Amino acid sequence: MGTPAVKELLVRDNVPLGQQGIDAPCRVLRLETPGWASWRPGQFVMLRPGAWDNELIWGRPFSICHADAETLTIFYQVVGRGTRKMADLKPGDSVVTWGPLGNGFSLGQGAALMLAGGVGLAPFIGASLAHAHPERLRLVFGHRLDLGNYPWDMLPPAMSAENHHEEKPGDLDAFLARLEQLIREHADQGPVLACGPTPFLRAVQRMALDCGAQAQLSLENRMACGVGACLGCVSEDPDGNRIQICTRGPVFPATDITL
């Protein structure tokens, strides 16, 4: 991991998804390009809008949805004070960023099974767009909001993608059964990559360890600095050793982290 670049970027647009307009629970934020020499899917970036002043001191971590020569794209859900204020960003507003941060997924150009829960879809958009052969990828996505609230249409059409909407009792159990089936089928074909809330990752971890699949888990811990200074995102490995998610992760082999 190289030295993260701290840059002040301007907002290109901040688009609400779904049918709820300005009250949409999810948005896609596009900033002018940070001009990174390179980045890896699964890495993250810290954002702190200039308008926050001293009201909110710490930045917020977000998976890099995509970055190219034109824009840095972030997908986020409005869930707290920080993201509620981010929803007010307008074109031309300034945002301080530092990144890319973390280690990212280890993903070649072969087959991979990608498992996403909720906003955990974000890193797999960048991963699939960067993959030379998206037809070798398979994505399984579980979500509670309507599909239109997620940037599903950013995925390359050549890849295999299925979504599971949790709407009624029994849907979650059916989704987990589907995950277990696919993880077992894919165990000897390539890596299993997962990103989502901790209960989702814990289930994937158990399934992968049970059948010997090589799984990588991207954690969504809260972070304040993103560079290991604040000790706000500490977890443990199976031996009880403390691990900083921002500097050692956020992606870990399923065998190396306790959830």
Q: What domains can you pick out in the chain, each with its CATH number?
A: 5-101 (2.40.30.10), 112-256 (3.40.50)
pLDDT of residue 233: 78
Written as one string, the DSSP assignment of 45-61 is: EEEEEGGGTTTS-S-EE
pTM for the complete prediction? Answer: 0.93
Per-residue pLDDT, 23: 82
Residue 39: its pLDDT value, please? 94
Q: What is the dihedral of CA 75, 78, 81, 83, to 10 degrees?
A: 20
144: left (phi over 0), alpha (psi -120 to 50) or beta: alpha
Per-residue pLDDT tens digits for 11-29: 999 999 987 777 889 999 9
Query: What pLDDT is attached to residue 2?
Result: 55
User: What is the model's pLDDT at position 120?
Assistant: 96
Q: How deeply is 137 buried, as exposed, middle or buried, from its count of CB atoms within 10 A (0-12, 13-18, 19+)?
A: buried
Buried b (16+ CB within 10 A) or exposed e, 27-56: bbbbbeebebeebbbbbbbbbbbeebeeee
Helices 198-211/171-186 angle, 10° precision: 40
**Per-residue model confidence (pLDDT) at position 17:** 95
Residue ranges for the chain with pLDDT beneath 70: 1-3, 53, 223-224, 231
